[in-house]
Structure formats: C-alpha cells, structure tokens
Homo-oligomer: A and B are copies of this chain.
C-alpha cells in the first residue's frame, strides 16, 4: 500500500455553488440512474452567498467511510452517496505528495477509507437546493483528492447519480443538463452554456418564505408525478424542448424579456404538473402567490418584464432582475409588502450583497416604513403589509463553478485527527 508513515492524512477542500433551474427538471425516466424526462437549464448562484464547502480526508488509519453534514455525523450508507463514491473510486488515479512523503497508487483507493465533512453557508432546511450543492461538492472534492483526470462533464454525470440537479452545480453561469439518450446515462450530463461573466448585470433576490406545512420531498413528488400526472409527459415531450431552444437563445443574446417570460412560465408549469399529481403536491403557498402577483402586476404595468420569478420544491421565491436598478425597485416593493417584523434589524432581514439595499435608499427601518406603495398599486394592490410571511431576503448574483480551497485553514477536518474541527 502507500509509502510513508502509516499515520498520514491527506485532505482536499472544495467549494461548490447551488443552482436554480429556469427550465425545470421534474420527472425521472430511470429512478436508479437519475435520468430525467427532459433537458433543464439553470443559473449558478454566487458561492459567496450560497454554496457547500466539503473537506475530504484519506488516511490508512481510517477504518470506515464516515460523513458529517454541518457538524453532525450522518449515515453514508444511502444508495446515492454509495454510487457516487463507487464511481469516483473507479476513476481514481495515483497521488504523490512529495512534501508529505505520501504515495497512493490507483488501486489503493479501493481499500482506503475517507472522512467527509460538508457545510452549507445557508440554512439547509430552507429549501434552497442544498442537496444539489452538497452532492456536487461531494463528488468534486473526492475527485480532486483522488486525482481523477476526467472532465467536469464526466463528474457531472456522477454527481447526477447523487442528486439529479447536482450535475448542474459543476459549472458556473448558465448550465444545461442534457437528458441524453443512452440507457446507462453516459450522455446525461451538464454542459456550460455561458459563464457568469457573459451576463453579469443580473441580480438575484431570494425570498425565504415561512412555511408551516411539511413539504413533499422532491424525490417522492417527482415519482408520484411521473406515475399519475396526465400532463407531465406532454410537458416533457412537447413543451420543454421548444422552451430549451428559446431559453438558450435568450441567454445567448441576453434578451431579458424572453428570459423572464420563459422562466416564469416554466416555473408555473412545473407547479401545475405538481397540482395535476395524485395526491396533488402544493409547494407554493399564499405568500408565494402574493409575490407572483406583485411581480406580475409590475411587469404588466411596465409592458415588459422587469423581474423574473421561479420557485423550486418549496415556497421560496427566486427573483431575477436584469440590473441593479431594477433590483433596487424590486427590493422596495418587496419590503413594502413584506416588511421585517418590528423587532428585526434590516441588516439581518436582508442578507448577502447589501449594497443593493443601500443603492435603493434603504438604510434603516425608517426608510422601509417611509416606502410609498408601488405606482402600479393604484389598480387593486393587495397592499396589506404582512410582517412574518417572509423570514428573510438574500441578495446575490450569478456565480462561478466549483473550486478547490487551497488554504488549509479553511478545511473542515483536522489535519491531525481527520475529524471535524
């Protein structure tokens, strides 16, 4: 087996962004391999605000594979973790660390155990695609540690087997997950359509919506939809292919009006399919509906879309503005309709990139209280101010793909014990 002393620990730390689909993935044609019924397109979010960080350690002293999520040990026995781990091990290559005097041969990886510690810089339970970022980071960091030479497309197909949408977190900017045709899923991979710098004016505001309901997991919901919704196959086969082409063109030409129209329509159609499922699935709640109404009324009063909205398997709204000016106007509207609770600080209610807040002239709660109703509100606005419906807002932007954190002080595992710090 490896040379050097038998107590060495080798580590790698990676950081991987979340992503939010603008053309939605909903429905698998193969449950085990996680092969989708249609292509999907996502935007990658800035990892500074929404990402997973994972440290993977290997040592001959480890007697089994172990994993910690946000500091808590979790079982690694699930099929999804196991298939990612197995696939990465197959691609592992020789690793030589001259400085530490470590030499691991390709075949050693089958016998060596790993410790994995992962951390999300945003609430896991908030329904913000934490599993996508987490699984992508799991695969990415293992691949780095094990010196996997394959390209990111190949890695995306491994991440896909952990959590479908995780494959789209392997790139920054705009990403397409092509459903592929191969029965084994070799061509069901993510490809980058454009990097984050291609359209860097976009601003993203996420409304984290309070919810009392227990939500249906997307795995269960998707399976129920495939089995029971008479509309799902029509969506997958007839509607989505056209939207994918239109969305690629909207992104290529930075055509925000088309981008917004497609994004909103596809979010609504995904939720329509959920409703057409038996039993029906409700991810959006009355607050989600109010946010949509606010955006739709604004968009229509202006004649052209000012903002796009999209909702995943939960009530949170992801709002995309074409530039900082629109984002400021959006934030004013959101804070007018959903002000922070009286005892809350504005700075803990709007997090992430706070410069948008300042540019919108919102320095304090006084400024929020002084906000006038939006001009379009003259026409029947549900302008009752309801604090408490939104937990907080995150201001962010498009972001880059996975990267290695070379600074060892950022590792989540101790270099001496291999356990969480």
Residues of A within 8 A of B (CB): 212-214, 230-231, 234-235, 238-239, 261, 264-265, 268-269, 271-273, 275-280, 282, 285-286, 289, 292-293, 296, 300, 380, 382, 384
Contacting pair A268 B286 (CB below 8 A):
no
List residues of chain B with CB within 8 A of the CB of A286: 285-286
Tell me if A's interface is mostly helix, strand, loop or mixed: helix
Give the residue among A238, A261, A269, A272 with the most B Cβ atoms within 10 A.
Answer: A272
By a CB distance below 8 angstroms, the chain B residues around A214 are 380, 382
Q: How far is the CA of A230 from the CA of B382 in the complex (A)?
A: 28
Please give, as numbers and ranges, the residues of chain B lying within 8 Å of A300 by CB-CB distance: 279
22 A–B pairs (Cβ distance < 8 Å), ordered by A: A212-B384, A213-B382, A231-B231, A231-B234, A231-B235, A231-B239, A234-B238, A261-B278, A264-B278, A268-B276, A268-B277, A268-B278, A268-B280, A269-B275, A269-B276, A272-B273, A272-B276, A279-B293, A279-B300, A280-B296, A282-B292, A285-B286
Establish whether residues B230 and A269, one from each chain, have CB atoms under 8 Å apart when the complex forms.
yes
Specify how many copies of this chain sit in the oligomer. Answer: 2
Are A275 and B280 also in contact (CB < 8 A) when A231-B234, A380-B214 are? no
Contact of A271 with B275 in the complex, beta carbons under 8 Å:
yes
Q: How far is the CA of A300 from the CA of B234 in the complex (A)?
A: 27
Least Cβ–Cβ distance between A255 and chain B, in angstroms: 17
Contact status A289-B278, CB under 8 Å: no
A97 to chain B, nearest CB (A): 50
Contact (Cβ within 8 A) B382 A212: yes
Q: 5 other contacts beyond A272-B276, A280-B292, A282-B289, with CB at 8 A cut-off? A: A214-B382, A231-B272, A275-B275, A280-B296, A285-B289
The chain B residue sitting closest to A296, CB to CB, is: B279
A382 to B269 Cα, complex, angstroms: 27
How near does chain B come to A384, taking the closest CB pair, in angstroms? Answer: 7
Residues in B whose Cβ lies below 8 Å from that of A293: 279
Give Cα A416 to B265, complex, Å.
Answer: 59
Residues of B within 8 A of A382 (CB): 212-214
A275's nearest neighbour on chain B, judged by CB, is B272
- A282 to B293, alpha carbons, bound, how many Å? 10
Which residue in chain B gives the minimum CB-CB distance to A211? B286
> Which partner residue on chain B sits nearest A380 by CB separation?
B214
Q: Which residues of B contact A265 (CB under 8 A)?
A: 276, 278
Q: Cα distance A280–B186 when bound, in Å? A: 37
Chain B residues with CB under 8 A of A289: 213, 282, 285
* A20–B358 alpha-carbon span in the complex (Å): 53
Residues of B within 8 A of A277 (CB): 268
Contacts of A231 in B (CB 8 A): 231, 234-235, 239, 269, 272
Residues of chain B within 8 A (CB-CB) of A273 are: 272
Cβ–Cβ < 8 Å partners of A296 in chain B: 279-280
Kindly list chain B residues whose C-beta atoms are within 8 Å of the C-beta of A275: 268-269, 271-272, 275
Q: How far is the CA of A213 from the CA of B292 in the complex (A)?
A: 13
CB-based nearest B residue for A265? B278
A213 to B293, CA, bound (A): 10
Most buried by B among A264, A282, A292: A282
Chain B contacts for A261, CB-based, 8 A: 278
Closest partner residue, chain B, to A285 (CB atom): B286
Contacts of A213 in B (CB 8 A): 289, 382
